Structure 1
Amino acid sequence: MSSASELTRFRSRVEDILDAITRIEEFIDHGGKADFLANGMLVSAVTYQLFIIGEASRHLAPGVEGRHPFIAWREMRGMRNVIAHEYGTVDPGVVWDVATTDLAPLRVALLAERDWLTSC
């Protein structure tokens, strides 16, 4: 079992991801893919939130992948690496696709993870 300070840190990373998901949803709520792709500032804002998600996902409680195997954890962390190190190759269309298809299941998993951490 993890210490109280570790559990607090794990819960904080979960909240970071949930906050980033909420921000992304707010950012993309006002238009479709064409509007998104035409707005560089919006693409940058969503990309940065995906970076936060990828970074925070590296610091979740041990066993998170086993508790939520339907989440593409490796790909999420890989996207963070592309954003950080190969930023010139980030495809805004992929950013849109991730933002509109992958975040809802991630939110469900992280809400369950938060509940699990609270019960520890």
Structure 2
Amino acid sequence: MTAPSLIPRLTDIVEAIEHIYEALGPISSDAFETDWQRQWIVERGILIISEASRRLPDELKARHSDIPWPKVAGIGNIIRHNYENISSPLMWKLVKDELPIMEKVCREELAAEKARLKI
């Protein structure tokens, strides 16, 4: 039996990151801190990324051990169950510092998976 394709989950992650960046545009961290609508968009994108990451195989995660996969999966639980304590500076840092790395990795893995499946 062949392993299920990674394409749907990797696509979900890449698209969520794209939507986050599109929604933020050239906003400053100070402006983000007072913009609840953009904060909600970021939180929704992070939820999607978190959930999709849970469905990626351990082999992929092992190839990219520089990404803190348990934290990526866990932040979804924090947003869902402890939403009242979500820090906009933490979300900002995650978007600016962590998402670019994850986007690069997921785009590379997506391209490799498409090549493997000859899509």
Provide TM-score, normalisation by structure 2: 0.90
The count of residues paired between Structure 1 and Structure 2 equals 116
Q: Aligned residue for 1:60?
A: 56
CA distance in 2, matches of 1:2, 1:104: 31
The aligned amino acid for 2:96 is T
The aligned amino acid for 1:56 is A
Q: Aligned residue for 1:29?
A: 25
Shift of 1:62: 3.7
- Which blocks of at least 5 consecutive residues in structure 2 are unaligned? none
Q: Percent identity?
A: 25
CA distance in 1, matches of 2:104, 2:20: 15
CA distance in 2, matches of 1:95, 1:2: 37
* RMSD over equivalenced CA pairs, Å: 1.4
Matched, 1:104 2:100: yes
- 1:71 aligned counterpart, secondary structure: coil
- Which blocks of at least 5 consecutive residues in structure 1 are unaligned? none
CA distance in 2, matches of 1:65, 1:86: 26
The aligned amino acid for 1:83 is I
Q: Show structure 1 runs of 4+ deviating over 3 A.
A: none
Q: More deviation in 110-119 or 32-41?
A: 110-119
Provide TM-score, normalisation by structure 1: 0.89
- 1:93 aligned counterpart, secondary structure: helix
